[in-house]
Structure 1
Amino acid sequence: MKKKHLYISILVITVVGYLLVQWTQPKSIDWSPSYSGLAKKPYGCFITRNVLDDIFPDQPVLYRNKPIFKSRDTASFQNEIYINSSFSPDRYESEILLERARNGNNIFISAHTLDGPLADSLELKVTDLPIFSAPALNSKWDSLSLNFTHDSKSYKGQWCFPKMLGSSYFTDFDSSATTIMGSNGNGEVNFIKIERGTGTFYVHSVPHVFTNYFMRDYQKAKYASRVLSHLPVAQTVWDEYNKDGRMVNTSPLRYIVSHPYLKWAWITALIGLALFLTFRAKRRQRVIPVIEKPKNSTVEFTKTIGRLYHQNGDHKGIASKKIKYLLEHIREDLNLDTQNINDEFLEHLSQRSGADMETVKTLFNFIDRIQAKENISSDELWYLNKHIETFYQQSSR
């Protein structure tokens, strides 16, 4: 018993000593890009998120932490702000954004990289993403000025930022449908306005100006605020989902491993527990009698029902239930309406689930054949189950 206490004492002293050493060491600065409105590190957007109330006074500022296609309750005639190093919504989400703009929303996008269906629809191309690191020295040789191109007095002036981060610009856009709002010191366009219906897309190619590192400087913060002030004073939605550094915390263990000190304390505790179980986990009590595991009557009941359907030859009944369950899965988990099953539906299902288009078409063609018959054979039921299982396997890749 004394040896057991000795081992535990040594383990506790080791863990406490390690944590004290780690605690006294200076914390390194995280220069990785985040753009999260919750992140206080240099390339987070905590300050920008908190000054939106001043930019849009007397208007609610909402924070959305879910995909674009799930935010169907978005009202018309409001602002949506997307700031990240890249912004590449898929075809389905691009159609949603274009429809919102046509209905009166003002959509602000600031990203070094803008590609995919939305960029194609807006006819935009941007230069390559710059390399992120600690900002360069603020000398005239390492900086690049940003400015606005319209004549309003409140937007006159130049604001200097590190050249390696301020050099992104639009290499191609439709000049006939685009209004140029800003450029850099080299005359390269980095801020444009594109009208769609009763709404507008404001697209900006230098997102780092909204990060904490530059927003703490009053003059540089003025530039970021004036960029956002082009949006009308209205209800505003801040996107927190499409971020490089999206902060996700769904379990206590995820929280532990996200902090270096807690992570190493957890690893040390696991190593100590493994050593204790290896050398000291000997049986020191009387033998515990084996208790039989209770039977799972639910499984037996399910097998009985299945045999009953099979014996009665009701293959069509089983097939109908499997089809009904498949459609329920598509509605609930993939958020797709199964009222109209057409080519557009099949394309969206393939994109949303990750299953091959050929697999999806084969499955629903076979379902049409099954539903058109009053009775089906056991072979047809077997092939239906095979097609459904193939779809589920590809969806879970």
Structure 2
Amino acid sequence: MNKTFKLYGLIFIIVMAVLALLELSKSDVTDWRKNFDVNEKSPFGLYIFSKEANHLLNDKVKRTDLSPYDFYKTQKLKPHNILIIESKLDSESWNKIFENVEKGSDVMVISDFFHQSISDSLGFSLSTISYEDFNLLLLTDNKFAADSLKLDKLPSGKGFELISKDHEILGKEESDSKMANFIKVNHGKGHLYLHSEPLILTNYYLLKPGNEKYVQDVFSYLPDRETVWFSGDNKNVAESRSPLRFILANPGLRYAWWLLLAGLLLFIIFNAKRKQRIVPIIEPKKNKSVEFVKSIGNLYLQEGDFHDMMAKKAQYFLNRVRMDLLIDTKDLDEKFIHLLHLKTGKSVEKIKEATELIKKGQDPYASVMQSDLIKMNKLLDEILL
């Protein structure tokens, strides 16, 4: 084997090793793209909504990947609900939807895009009329006055303008009373409910406490009946950003790549084993934590400073109450005793007695005996046992 071949082989091994390290050490980057994919757990995916859709719509959801045009060519349903989320439908699909709405079906469309021909036929226009860093979405019905949803991350600011007087405004944006983002359009025997902000259904906003109430209010306008969800048009497949995406995307090349890395690893292991020096035995350091605690305990016992020991025990106990039980310990009053009783299940009398001893330990002028320390230590250990 000549020197040139050895040099090329060494360079090849180094390059493969560097690529492998780059692949294994790359960190996950949060994908903030608005993909609206029912299978995506990224902030702006619909994974959580997809899991909760059945519960939200009373277990009467029928999902389909077909377009409305293909679906209704073979399906003849009685009046039902139609759900469309951020899907760009063709005109033939819209015609099928309008036919069903005229017969008594209701459709909920949640999208920041409506083709101009559709918006013209329904009597509205959609445009960006809010440039705030955040939007607070409200509903106009008084019974939903307490429910709102704040869009603080990449709001589209889309809203309906030039709305026909025959349409009903169901939701607005707080900072702009003229900005309607949720409207009701009557069409034949049925209705179209149009919402211009699909972000309300994404994982990022549904995970925030209270936002689910706003979403429930929006869907409460749909009657309690079967809902057909056309979920097949809003899937975006994210392209891998890895420099090895071509190799990893092909099964044959992917297996060859991992086989190469495994062979390289075995070569390194066996080669290193042959040349490895004797590793000296290093005794592990002994854990002397128990001895340290005993020494500190003996020191306090010899000093006889029971008051300081009670104060430290009380401080440790209150810190555990704050961190583990999430109870405010600023005021050791009846409210504190009641909350501690509810969360620990211990008797109120025992907690009151322990609280009095804690206050005694915190009082620098109180007279403390050894029996007080022993009694408080026993009570506090029983409460948090």
* TM-score band, normalised by shorter chain: 0.5 to 0.7
* Aligned equivalent of 1:150: 141
3-state SS of 1:165 partner: coil
Q: Whole-Å Cα distance in 1 between the matches of residues 129 and 23 of structure 2?
A: 35
Query: Kindly tell me: are residues 23 and 171 of structure 1, through their superposed partners in 2, closer, same or farther at Cα, counting changes over 3 Å?
Result: same
Is contact 2:36–2:45 with CA below 8 Å preserved after alignment? Answer: yes
Does 2:160 correspond to 1:159?
no
3-state SS of 1:147 partner: strand
Which blocks of at least 5 consecutive residues in structure 2 are unaligned?
A: 258-385
Q: Whole-Å Cα distance in 2 between the matches of residues 233 and 9 of structure 1?
A: 69
Query: Kindly tell me: are residues 6 and 227 of structure 1, through their superposed partners in 2, closer, same or farther at Cα, counting changes over 3 Å?
Result: farther
Query: Kindly tell me: are residues 8 and 266 of structure 1, through their superposed partners in 2, closer, same or farther at Cα, counting changes over 3 Å?
Result: farther
* Aligned equivalent of 1:216: 207
Shift of residue 126, structure 1, vs aligned partner = 0.9
Q: How does 1:274-353 map to 2 (within 5 A)?
A: none
Identity %: 21
3-state SS of 1:41 partner: coil
Q: Whole-Å Cα distance in 2 between the matches of residues 64 and 12 of structure 1?
A: 50
- TM-score of the aligned structures, taking structure 1 as reference length: 0.54
Is contact 1:89–1:118 with CA below 8 Å preserved after alignment? Answer: no
Q: How does 1:167-182 map to 2 (within 5 A)?
A: 167-176=157-166, 178-182=167-171
AA of the residue aligned to 1:263 = R
Task: Identify which of 76, 79, 83 aligns with 1:77.
Answer: 79
* Aligned equivalent of 2:114: 114
* Aligned equivalent of 2:37: 36
Q: Whole-Å Cα distance in 2 between the matches of residues 78 and 5 of structure 1?
A: 73
Query: Kindly tell me: are residues 20 and 44 of structure 1, through their superposed partners in 2, closer, same or farther at Cα, counting changes over 3 Å?
Result: same
Shift of residue 204, structure 1, vs aligned partner = 0.4
Q: Whole-Å Cα distance in 2 between the matches of residues 28 and 122 of structure 1?
A: 41
Q: Whole-Å Cα distance in 2 between the matches of residues 43 and 142 of structure 1?
A: 17
**Alignment length, in residue pairs?**
249
Shift of residue 125, structure 1, vs aligned partner = 0.6
Does 2:240 correspond to 1:263?
no
Q: Whole-Å Cα distance in 1 between the matches of residues 248 and 147 of structure 2?
A: 53
Shift of residue 205, structure 1, vs aligned partner = 0.8
3-state SS of 1:27 partner: coil
Q: Whole-Å Cα distance in 1 between the matches of residues 48 and 188 of structure 2?
A: 32
Per mean C-alpha deviation after superposition, the further-off stretch among 221-230 and 154-163 is 154-163
Is contact 2:88–2:233 with CA below 8 Å preserved after alignment? Answer: no
Q: Whole-Å Cα distance in 2 between the matches of residues 267 and 37 of structure 1?
A: 22
Shift of residue 34, structure 1, vs aligned partner = 0.9
Shift of residue 129, structure 1, vs aligned partner = 9.1
* Aligned equivalent of 2:28: 27
Per mean C-alpha deviation after superposition, the further-off stretch among 98-107 and 155-164 is 155-164
Shift of residue 108, structure 1, vs aligned partner = 0.8
Shift of residue 213, structure 1, vs aligned partner = 1.1
Is contact 2:137–2:150 with CA below 8 Å preserved after alignment? Answer: yes
* Aligned equivalent of 1:46: 47
Query: Kindly tell me: are residues 130 and 22 of structure 1, through their superposed partners in 2, closer, same or farther at Cα, counting changes over 3 Å?
Result: farther
* Aligned equivalent of 1:126: 126
Shift of residue 47, structure 1, vs aligned partner = 0.9
Shift of residue 241, structure 1, vs aligned partner = 2.6
Q: Whole-Å Cα distance in 2 between the matches of residues 193 and 235 of structure 1?
A: 20
Runs of 4+ in 1 over 6 A off after TM superposition: 1-10
Is contact 1:82–1:108 with CA below 8 Å preserved after alignment? Answer: yes
Q: Whole-Å Cα distance in 2 between the matches of residues 99 and 110 of structure 1?
A: 19
Query: Kindly tell me: are residues 162 and 8 of structure 1, through their superposed partners in 2, closer, same or farther at Cα, counting changes over 3 Å?
Result: same
Is contact 1:113–1:128 with CA below 8 Å preserved after alignment? Answer: no
Query: Kindly tell me: are residues 148 and 6 of structure 1, through their superposed partners in 2, closer, same or farther at Cα, counting changes over 3 Å?
Result: same
Which blocks of at least 5 consecutive residues in structure 1 are unaligned?
A: 132-140, 249-256, 274-397
Does 2:233 correspond to 1:242?
yes
AA of the residue aligned to 1:223 = Y
Is contact 1:69–1:93 with CA below 8 Å preserved after alignment? Answer: yes
Is contact 1:89–1:117 with CA below 8 Å preserved after alignment? Answer: no
Query: Kindly tell me: are residues 30 and 121 of structure 1, through their superposed partners in 2, closer, same or farther at Cα, counting changes over 3 Å?
Result: same
Is contact 1:83–1:207 with CA below 8 Å preserved after alignment? Answer: yes
* Aligned equivalent of 1:375: none
Query: Kindly tell me: are residues 10 and 128 of structure 1, through their superposed partners in 2, closer, same or farther at Cα, counting changes over 3 Å?
Result: same
The RMSD of aligned alpha carbons is: 3.5
Query: Kindly tell me: are residues 8 and 224 of structure 1, through their superposed partners in 2, closer, same or farther at Cα, counting changes over 3 Å?
Result: farther
Query: Kindly tell me: are residues 264 and 174 of structure 1, through their superposed partners in 2, closer, same or farther at Cα, counting changes over 3 Å?
Result: same
* Aligned equivalent of 2:369: none
* Aligned equivalent of 1:351: none
Is contact 2:103–2:190 with CA below 8 Å preserved after alignment? Answer: yes
